[in-house]
Amino acid sequence: MEVNEDSGDQNPEPEEATASSNITADEIDQETAKKLRGDAIGDTMYSEVFVLNTLLQFSDLQWSSEVEDNLCFLWDMTEEIDVSRYLFQVSYPSLACSALVKYNEPRFIEIIIQHQSVKYDLFPLSPLSRHRLSIVKRKVLVLDLDETLIHSHHDGVVRQTVRPGTPPDFVLKVVIDRHPVRFFVHKRPHVDFFLDIVSQWYELVVFTASMEIYGAAVADKLDAGRGILQRRFYRQHCTPDLGSYTKDLGAICNDLSSVFILDNSPGAYRAYPDNAIPIKSWFSDPTDVALLNLLPVLDALRFTADVRSVLSRNLHLHRLCVFAEILDFGYPQNTDTGVLKTFITQQGIKSATKEEQAQITSQVTGQIGWRREGIKYRRNELFLDVLEYVNLLMSPQGQVLSAHVAGKVVMKSYLSGMPECKFGINDKIVMDAKGKGGLGSTSDSDQTRSGGKPVVVIDDCQFHQCVKLSKFETEHSISFIPPDGEFELMRYRTTKDISLPFRVIPLVREVGRTKMEVKVVLKSNFKPSLLGQKIEVKIPTPLNTSGVQLICLKGKAKYKASENAIVWKIKRMAGMKETQLSAEIELLETDTKKKWTRPPISMNFEVPFAPSGFKVRYLKVFEPKLNYSDHDVIKWVRYIGRSGLYETRC
């Protein structure tokens, strides 16, 4: 057998893609979102990004308590997202879902479903993308030839499948059984560009059901001396099955998590349906862009730990099921991760019995859509964290210019059955009598109760959907059936009667034009039995600082030229204590007459109490069906106060 090659009369180059896109992360903004929603769609790259993020967001099935927090507007994350490397967003598992929820107009959904053709531009990998690639295995892409990358016909064909007069890209003369046969080979549009791109991402392997004498010659022409199609498998490596040839991917790579095939024939990958990407058979359409449309998919797939987590047919059902639960007639209906987890299964779905069907109906139509029935734990436990962030702006004279506390109550629930919890907060919280159940300010006469104790007013608050608000308004207690696992029970904000954990007293004296003396006194204003931790005071210095001499009575202090600041760190500090730092700052002489505007001194800390005075009076649990009492539940309550934007002008 021998093979001879000659060129056709004309050798047209593959067409360029129909659209060009040079997108940077900075260009993703609100205006772009408006383009996506309108009839005039701009760069179609955005549609591709949305398509694949929507399909791939649930691929690794990595659920966390941060999913709801991450349901934010995709464009707000521009500094974190590399547009063309979207699969590494597994760190942000629900961004794509948020985009679908945010823009659920029919026009936009239609755009998402459609594949858009683009000229795929390569962007530099972000650090997060490079890290992701470093921890996953390089994958193998198996490519079919006929009707996938090329189409060919020979002299003896009675009915040609290409348009008459269409010139071939190249002609092969193959001698088979001593008979010369001429094959006229047409390359699929954009195949050279496609191979050039994907060869940078994957190890490419040719696997064709054609004879080796023909397949090797075609592969050589496609390789074009680039050395990207080194490994090749032919008809002798296939398995005859039901009149067709199946391809054994296990012969190419033992690890099926890192190998997949691109083939137009479903019979070829019958034994490996979760390791295949189907593609439409191509014969002669010069406007075909299927290979271009696959580039975003292939770009994303290389970042996965297991390709089957994306390509599995069962997972497509999971995604549809999850989206159906999240959206109801286009409106966000259920974003609770605990409930959505129940729709992700690793086993087959059996026919439901009448009892199970009744349970499903109860869960769908009942009021407890955030918790499934039948939960059991060997030990019933509740963890309650009261987290508060203190924000302060104080004048150099010690006058509070603005202050507020932003707090939240986070609960971890490990309770069996369908328990009802009752959570009582301290008597200091008062409802606004004029606000019809709202929270707000009250008159001075209402600021004290009969006992003369001051009242802390919550300016606004927000509860989890499980809370029964009617009991909160009448009893100042929070009654609810908790979701399973970790969730945020409530958020609140207060601006009055805040106990400021620390006070910073600055004293700055300028000694001529080349010297400055700074003294900072730090006082702790809480009980002596408590300890403040992770204390850091940042004292700004002028831009022309040449050197700093420091003396601190407690902790460690260091001048950081990169931050133009003195950083003073104290590991622990007891309540009602005082310490100080002295600094002598040497300055370089400058010609400018503009006086240095002193930035405020900022502070970070953590204290074991709630600065707003928020207290948990009681936490009770009732479970009528399983008959375990409140005394059988182990309960933990923790208070943490942290600094928000805590600044003192100097």
Active site residues: 144, 146
In a 3-state reduction of DSSP, which class is residue 27?
helix
Q: In degrees rounded to 5, what are phi and psi of residue 67?
A: -60, -45
Q: Is 7 exposed, middle or buried (0-12, 13-18, 19+ CB in 10 A)?
A: exposed
Residue 489, token pair as written in the block: 């029970």
- Cβ atoms of residues 428 and 612 within 8 Å: no
Q: Smallest Cα–Cα separation from 422: which of 392, 379, 382, 372?
A: 382
Quote the DSSP letter at residue 494. Answer: E
Instruction: State the residue for tokens 């990407």.
Output: 277
Rounded CA separation 87/90 (Å): 6
Q: How far apart, in whole angstroms, are the C-alpha atoms of residue 206 and residue 149?
A: 10
Neighbours of 222 (CB within 10 A): 23
Q: How many CB atoms lie within 10 A of CB 530?
A: 15
Burial 67-92 (b: 16+ CB within 10 A, else e): beebbeebbebeeebbbbbbbbbeeb
On the 0-12 / 13-18 / 19+ scale of CB atoms within 10 A, 575 is middle
- Amino acid (one-letter) located at 123: F
What DSSP state is assigned to residue 262?
A: E
The whole-angstrom separation of Cα 484 and Cα 409 is 16
Helices (H), 210-270: 212-223
- Which amino acid, 526? F
Is residue 343 a contact partner of residue 318, using CB atoms and an 8 Å limit? yes
